[in-house]
């Protein structure tokens, strides 16, 4: 190695990569392994070492499997496809407008909205006795009492699919907005428009293909998540049978060891299903790519296509935002509802009784949820910073793909194995186990949020500091971290929000002994007491929002430093 190279290659943060891989990839592979063994009848802890395919036989002969699979594929592909259409069409029609600025400012809070509380709030909104039905009854519907319709938890999982699509479309818009910064979209769009192309058509032809290449991995992560969603499926999806992931969870919870072996098979099958689905999606991309080659260069400057796209985009993004705001309002109103009889649009009597009654429980849940989230996001942020200092995170770094692994592998496929791992370490059912398990899902988001601002920091600032004699660590602590205070705070807040919203990881790592706001909200969603569910789910929503609000207090020095 050349002397200069040797001097610069001595990176005091070189340990960050092996440590991150150890806490990041290690549990996933060990977890998958721990799930795989019981799927073949091997249970060393119970003294069973005989290879068996009986669990697979039982799994494939389960009478509910076919329906469950159909629901899983409907929700997975349906929600992802609708979210992609809404995401791209809405940015195409809004890009460069004042409305786009408003939508952008709402994206981070929307992303912080936990899936579980979104589902609970939405259920209160669209249920036959929900707010929408109340607002239009009886004058428009003639309903004197809540209709006997299966809107929520419908047998075909349409409510689940549409709800998930609306939630994920906001996530995708956020990803698209991030990708736009990489391709100089404004200039490209101006160039196309100067040739006479209508704005939306220009965006779809010139920008969308480049943006899609940048957001491909998040879309795959979205597909994997939609195929294996559990918390929203419990609240909004059908129960008999449910989609595959919640059905697997039910089996894991049963005392019958045969069912538990089937659950391991189902968890592994879920992974195979996601891999197959991603490959199928990739194939679909290639087909679409071939199909749109002609229209891309047919010279048509404006036509019906962008009008349809514009309509879909406007309606889709409006619905997503209205659903989010409506869900929050529902949670808040129900939490303070005293007497609220049909078809009143608002409670006849307001009351804080439920807040008072659940005070002690609520404080405990908030404390526990917040401690886990603060610890997970703080560890994740520290690891992300050290990894970035070690040079991981450069655009060409092969390690970047690894970050997506926990987002691409279905949670249910490896969390059972992770639980066994914690059990072996005498940690299952502890806050430590829950925090470390949350870390797997928090770190990718923290890293993704932090890496762009980190790379954007003028490298000469660090060179100047080090040329003044400051060590790498001192440069990091005294110069880089203060300058990156706002992005670091944002990354921590997003990490906090991700941790707060974790359902399955809390359930498995907590071994049913660690309740958080999320597990409680999901448990209460199917119960009769909407007021209590409102209190818990609203508090669950408020926590990440408060974290994001705190971010605004952090100084923003990055832009000034780079000037």
Partner 1 sequence: MTSAGLILNDVRLAIGGRTLFDGLCLCIAPGEIVTLMGESGSGKSSLIAYICGSLDTEFDVRGSVTLDGQDMGPLPIERRRIGVMFQDDVLFAHMSVGENLAFAVPPGVTRSERQTRVNDALVEADLDGFAARNPATLSGGQKARVALMRALLAEPRAMLLDEPFSRLDATLRERVRNFAFSTIKRRNIPALLVTHDRQDKSDHVITL
Nearer to partner 1, 465 or 522 (CB): 465
Exactly one of 421, 449, 483, 507 binds partner 1 (CB under 8 A); that residue is 483
Least distance between partner 1 and beta carbon 563 (Å): 8
Least distance between partner 1 and beta carbon 197 (Å): 35
- Binding mask of the shown chain, residues 521 to 560, with x at each position contacting partner 1 by CB under 8 A: ----------------------------------x-x--x
Nearer to partner 1, 149 or 463 (CB): 463
Nearer to partner 1, 63 or 395 (CB): 395
Least distance between partner 1 and beta carbon 5 (Å): 5
Nearer to partner 1, 8 or 304 (CB): 8
471 lines the binding site for partner 1 (CB under 8 A): yes
Phi–psi pair at 349, nearest 5 degrees: -140, 130
Least distance between partner 1 and beta carbon 483 (Å): 6
**Cα(397)–Cα(307) distance, integer angstroms:** 40
Nearer to partner 1, 394 or 552 (CB): 394
Q: Are 183 and 211 in contact, with CB atoms under 8 Å apart?
A: yes
Nearer to partner 1, 2 or 98 (CB): 2
Per DSSP bridges, beta strands 349-350 and 337-339 are antiparallel
Residue 338, SS3 per DSSP: strand
150: left (phi over 0), alpha (psi -120 to 50) or beta: beta
Least distance between partner 1 and beta carbon 256 (Å): 58
Number of residues that bind partner 1 (CB under 8 A): 34
Nearer to partner 1, 369 or 490 (CB): 490
Least distance between partner 1 and beta carbon 470 (Å): 6
Least distance between partner 1 and beta carbon 253 (Å): 51
Least distance between partner 1 and beta carbon 35 (Å): 41
Scanning 176-184, 458-466, 488-496, 530-538 for contacts with partner 1 by CB under 8 A, the matching segment is 458-466
Scanning 162-170, 421-429, 465-473, 546-554 for contacts with partner 1 by CB under 8 A, the matching segment is 465-473
**Cα(563)–Cα(557) distance, integer angstroms:** 10
Nearer to partner 1, 7 or 140 (CB): 7
CB atoms within 10 A of CB 143: 18
Show the DSSP H helices in 10-114 as ranges: 16-39, 54-60, 65-94, 98-112
Least distance between partner 1 and beta carbon 456 (Å): 14
Q: How far apart are the first and last CA of the chain?
A: 36
DSSP 287-309: HHHHHTHHHHTS---S-HHHHHH
Exactly one of 213, 288, 315, 468 binds partner 1 (CB under 8 A); that residue is 468
Scanning 31-39, 302-310, 454-462, 502-510 for contacts with partner 1 by CB under 8 A, the matching segment is 454-462
Nearer to partner 1, 446 or 483 (CB): 483
Show the DSSP H helices in 303-410 as ranges: 304-335, 353-357, 359-389, 399-403, 405-408
307 lines the binding site for partner 1 (CB under 8 A): no
Least distance between partner 1 and beta carbon 394 (Å): 11
Least distance between partner 1 and beta carbon 8 (Å): 6
Least distance between partner 1 and beta carbon 493 (Å): 20
Find all residues with CB under 8 Å of 476, minimum gap 6, and list them: 385, 389
> Among 563, 542, 266, 216, which Cα is nearest to 408's?
216
Find all residues with CB under 8 Å of 326, minimum gap 6, and list them: 121, 122, 125, 131
Q: Are 89 and 310 in contact, with CB atoms under 8 Å apart?
A: yes
Exactly one of 136, 464, 477, 546 binds partner 1 (CB under 8 A); that residue is 464
**Cα(206)–Cα(216) distance, integer angstroms:** 17
466 lines the binding site for partner 1 (CB under 8 A): yes
Exactly one of 253, 357, 455, 478 binds partner 1 (CB under 8 A); that residue is 478
**Cα(77)–Cα(447) distance, integer angstroms:** 27
Nearer to partner 1, 363 or 468 (CB): 468
395 lines the binding site for partner 1 (CB under 8 A): no
Exactly one of 116, 119, 465, 532 binds partner 1 (CB under 8 A); that residue is 465
**Cα(447)–Cα(457) distance, integer angstroms:** 15
Q: Are 435 and 510 in contact, with CB atoms under 8 Å apart?
A: no
Phi–psi pair at 145, nearest 5 degrees: -145, 160
**Cα(381)–Cα(21) distance, integer angstroms:** 15
Exactly one of 458, 526, 550, 552 binds partner 1 (CB under 8 A); that residue is 458
Locus of tokens 């260069």: 297
455 lines the binding site for partner 1 (CB under 8 A): no
Residue 142 gets which letter from DSSP? -
Exactly one of 9, 239, 308, 352 binds partner 1 (CB under 8 A); that residue is 9
Least distance between partner 1 and beta carbon 123 (Å): 46
Scanning 89-97, 288-296, 471-479, 513-521 for contacts with partner 1 by CB under 8 A, the matching segment is 471-479
Which residues are paired to 331 by β-bridges? Answer: none
Locus of tokens 């602590």: 477
Least distance between partner 1 and beta carbon 186 (Å): 24
10 lines the binding site for partner 1 (CB under 8 A): yes
Find all residues with CB under 8 Å of 441, minimum gap 6, and list them: 406, 407, 411, 498, 499, 502, 505
7 lines the binding site for partner 1 (CB under 8 A): yes
DSSP 420-450: HHHHHTT-TTSHHHHHHHHHHHHHHHHHHHH
Q: Which helix (H) or strand (E) holds 337?
A: strand 337-339
Nearer to partner 1, 216 or 466 (CB): 466
Binding-site ranges for partner 1 (CB under 8 A): 2-10, 458-461, 463-472, 475, 478-479, 482-483, 485, 555, 557, 560-561, 563
């Amino acid at each position: 190695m050349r002397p200069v190279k040797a001097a610069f290659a001595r990176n005091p943060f070189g340990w960050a990569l092996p440590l991150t891989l150890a806490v990041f990839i290690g549990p996933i592979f060990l977890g998958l392994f721990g799930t795989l063994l019981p799927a073949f009848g091997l249970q060393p802890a119970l003294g069973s070492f005989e290879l068996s395919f009986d669990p697979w036989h039982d799994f494939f002969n389960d009478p509910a499997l076919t329906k469950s699979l159909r629901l899983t594929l409907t929700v997975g592909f349906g929600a992802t496809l609708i979210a992609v259409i809404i995401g791209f069409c809405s940015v195409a029609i809004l890009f460069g407008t004042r409305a786009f600025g408003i939508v952008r400012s709402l994206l981070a809070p929307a992303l912080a909205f936990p899936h579980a509380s979104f589902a609970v709030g939405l259920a209160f909104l669209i249920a036959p006795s929900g707010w929408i039905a109340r607002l239009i009854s009886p004058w428009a519907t003639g309903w004197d009492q809540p209709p006997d319709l299966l809107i929520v938890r419908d047998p075909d999982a349409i409510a689940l699919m549409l709800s998930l699509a609306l939630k994920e479309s906001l996530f995708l818009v956020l990803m698209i907005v991030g990708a736009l910064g990489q391709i100089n979209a404004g200039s490209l769009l101006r160039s196309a428009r100067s040739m006479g192309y209508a704005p939306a058509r220009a965006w779809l032809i010139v920008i969308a293909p480049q943006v899609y290449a940048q957001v491909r991995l998040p879309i795959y992560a979205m597909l994997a998540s939609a195929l294996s969603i559990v918390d929203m499926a419990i609240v909004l999806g059908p129960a008999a049978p449910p989609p595959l992931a919640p059905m697997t969870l039910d089996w894991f919870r049963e005392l019958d060891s045969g069912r538990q072996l089937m659950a391991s098979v189902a968890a592994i099958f879920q992974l195979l299903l996601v891999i197959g689905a991603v490959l199928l999606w990739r194939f679909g991309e290639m087909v679409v790519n071939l199909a749109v080659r002609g229209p891309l260069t047919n010279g048509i400057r404006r036509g019906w296509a962008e009008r349809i796209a514009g309509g879909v985009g406007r309606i889709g993004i409006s619905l997503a935002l209205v659903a989010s705001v409506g869900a929050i309002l529902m949670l808040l109103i129900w939490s303070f509802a005293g007497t609220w009889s049909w078809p009143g649009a608002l409670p006849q009597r307001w009351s804080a009784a439920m807040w008072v009654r659940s005070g002690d429980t609520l404080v405990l849940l908030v404390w526990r949820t917040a401690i886990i989230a603060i610890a997970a996001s703080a560890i994740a942020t520290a690891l992300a910073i050290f990894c970035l200092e070690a040079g991981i995170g450069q655009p060409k770094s092969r390690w970047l793909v690894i970050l997506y692994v926990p987002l691409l592998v279905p949670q249910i496929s490896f969390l059972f194995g992770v639980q066994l791992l914690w059990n072996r370490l005498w940690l299952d059912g502890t806050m430590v186990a829950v925090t470390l398990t949350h870390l797997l899902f928090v770190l990718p988001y923290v890293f993704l949020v932090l890496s762009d601002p980190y790379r954007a920091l003028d490298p000469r600032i660090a060179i100047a500091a080090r040329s003044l004699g400051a060590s790498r660590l001192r440069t990091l602590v005294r110069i880089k971290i203060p300058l990156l205070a706002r992005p670091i705070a944002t990354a921590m807040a997003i990490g906090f929000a991700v941790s707060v919203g974790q359902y399955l990881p809390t359930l498995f790592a907590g071994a049913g002994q660690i309740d958080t706001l999320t597990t409680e909200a999901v448990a209460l969603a199917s119960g009769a007491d909407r007021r209590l569910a409102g209190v818990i789910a609203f508090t669950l929503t408020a926590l990440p929002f408060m974290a994001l609000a705190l971010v605004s207090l952090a100084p923003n020095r990055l832009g000034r430093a780079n000037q």
